[in-house]
Chain A
Amino acid sequence: MNVIELDRATLRMGGRDVLKHASFAIQAGEFIGILGPNGAGKTTLMRAVLGLLPPSSGQLRVFGRAPKRGDATIGYLPQVRTVLPDLHIRGLEFIASSLDGERWGVPSLKRADRQMIDETLALIDARDLAERPLSEMSGGERQRLLLAQALIGKPQLLLLDEPLISLDARHQETAIAVVRKVCRERGITVLFSAHELNQLLGTLDRVLYLGNGQAVLGTVDEVIAAPVLSRLYGTDIHVVRTEGQIFVMSRGRDVEHAAHQHDHDHGHVH
């Protein structure tokens, strides 16, 4: 069964066609790494899958139907940038706010919910965050809190938008391992956007590479190849493989590394 299916779909954002006539299908249980330069449409694609951005032409189907907002079977980790600087609210309340958060009325935290939150936090080695206020957390700690939150509530599809940003190397590995383990066990389909391919090499089933309004879905060997990437980047790309690592180079520079650096300069969560 196809979980996500695009048929000549065009996604328009801010007067620009971010994706033009894209067609591909993602099957149930796949771990898809989404890569591509900044602005290639990683976030836009996820917003479309969430039903926040209808395609301007073509078809987009999620679980076989047009995506609708508020689908409880989709877990989402936004590439958060709205962070209230002075939030003296503990992590537990932060996560609890998302449980049935769209329903009217006064919130109440049931014992089962509390247990579910505790278990998920333990899963990613973040139990201590439940009692700490957000104002005292680092960007990485907030990110781990969000990851835990995305896993709560038995989603069938997980959209993780740059979940590794602002995590240190150790927590990046933990995050990837946890997502892999949980999703394999429960048969969850994962869209995992990232700047670095190499960390995901042992985990991902296929790569979705976005660039230049186009999308290419395939195995690492099919997609991470000079002709394909040159087309997506619109410039000459060389692919260098060494000691099990893959480097995508443009005029002698590592394009992933450059993009990552850029993010560190401007995209801080604090």
Chain B
Amino acid sequence: MFTDMFQYEFMNNAFAAAGIVAVVSGVVGYFLVMRGQTFAGHALSHIGFAGATGAGLIGLAPIWGLTGFTLAAGIVMGLLSERISNRDVAIGIVLALALGFGLLFLHYYTAFASQATALLFGNVLAVDHATIATLAVLAVITLLGLAAIMRPLIFASLQPELAEAKGVRLRFVSTVFLGVVALAVSQCAQIVGVLLVFTLMVGPPAAAQRLTTGLWSGLSLAAALALAEAWLGLTVAFYSDWPVSFCIAMLSAAGYFAALALSARRARHSRAGVIENAA
């Protein structure tokens, strides 16, 4: 018979932490996908890796180095906005540089090396009560920040020229947004690691946008999918003994490709419908 996974405190903690982070990732990721800035989100997580290892070097908890570095990088990227944040090459180079620095910091603080894997690929099973509390506070700040700028953010994302004419300060909005993304990335990295933030921040929102074209329905579905994938991933990991982040990554990819197939099929049907109507 299966053992009840909820008899273990580490599993309860993992479910709580993954639940908080999944909802934040799904919601914030929805806008990241809408704005076509997913690569920027990926780069922020790599910069966070350098921050986390750097924090270890000077004796700080990695989560604060991670949060501080991603937040600072997010704001800088936002301020440089048009010049940097949408340019793949510039982002790619900064991303590689950040990983290099991460490696350098690890090199000088060898005692920290055991934590490198946890940073890169996540270690949700080691989450304690204090971390859950931190994640909850960060989640509330992230969602409140997003709620505050949501209206101009959507306007600026969909129609930048008109939004500018109507008085939206594009750079300010995009800077605050990348700050929000940075906070979400640093939470997400606690669960699935800096290398796999895409699994919760991009996979579920991208799948949701394939399945529904409404704003609120898309946001809800993105959050729900992220939550389902995170919790299901934990469950599969518990019973299979595979790494949690692998299970979540697998479910995220499966969810996205299923949504892709479903929307392609739906498009074919509706086109067939139009032809029938015309005939």
Contact = CB atoms under 8 A, between A and B. Distances in A.
Interface of A: 47, 50, 52, 69-70, 72, 74, 76, 78, 80-82, 84-90, 92-94, 96-98, 100-107, 131-133, 136, 149
B163 A102 contact: yes
B60 interface: no
B118 interface: no
A81 B156 CA distance: 14
Given A86-B36, A88-B213, A89-B34, A98 B149 contact: no
A27 B97 CA distance: 59
B56 to A, nearest CB: 38
A20 B147 CA distance: 45
A130 to B, nearest CB: 10
B209 interface: yes
Given A78-B162, A97-B155, A104 B210 contact: no
B272 to A, nearest CB: 15
Nearest to A136: B267
A74 B35 CA distance: 26
Nearest to B155: A101
Given A98-B162, A107-B154, A93 B213 contact: yes
B interface residue count range (under 10 / 10 to 19 / 20 to 34 / 35 or more): 20 to 34
Nearest to A79: B161
Among A87, A97, A104, A106, chain B packs the most CB atoms within 10 A around the CB of A97
Among B149, B160, B162, B168, chain A packs the most CB atoms within 10 A around the CB of B162
A236 B110 CA distance: 78
B150 interface: yes
A50 B166 CA distance: 8
B192 to A, nearest CB: 24
A76 B162 contact: yes
Contacts, number: 103
B152 A103 contact: yes
B151 A104 contact: yes
B149 A102 contact: no
B165 A78 contact: yes
B148 interface: yes
Nearest to A70: B167
Contacts of B158: 84, 87, 89, 93-94, 97
A101 B168 contact: yes
B34 A105 contact: no
B149 A101 contact: no
B209 A89 contact: yes
B165 A107 contact: no
16 contacts: A76-B166, A78-B162, A78-B165, A80-B161, A82-B160, A84-B34, A86-B36, A90-B213, A93-B154, A97-B158, A98-B155, A101-B152, A104-B148, A105-B150, A105-B151, A149-B162
B59 interface: no
B35 A84 contact: yes
B32 to A, nearest CB: 12
A80 B35 CA distance: 16
Given A88-B210, A97-B159, A107 B150 contact: yes
A23 to B, nearest CB: 24
B152 to A, nearest CB: 6
Nearest to B215: A93
B155 A102 contact: yes
B159 A98 contact: yes
A210 to B, nearest CB: 20
Given A84-B157, A88-B218, 11 more contacts: A70-B166, A72-B166, A76-B165, A78-B161, A81-B161, A82-B159, A89-B215, A98-B155, A104-B148, A107-B154, A131-B213
Contacts of B160: 82
Nearest to B164: A52
Given A84-B35, A88-B213, A89-B215, A106 B151 contact: yes
Contacts of B155: 97-98, 101-102
A72 B156 CA distance: 17
B167 to A, nearest CB: 3
Interface in B212-228: 213-215, 218
Nearest to A89: B213
Contact of B36 (A50, A84, A96, A107): A84
Contact of A102 (B34, B147, B166): B166
B154 A101 contact: yes
Contacts of A76: 162, 165-166
Interface in B157-188: 157-168
A88 B167 CA distance: 26
B165 A69 contact: yes
B213 A133 contact: yes
A101 B149 CA distance: 10
B87 to A, nearest CB: 15
B106 to A, nearest CB: 37
A101 B165 contact: no
Contacts of B213: 88-90, 93, 131-133
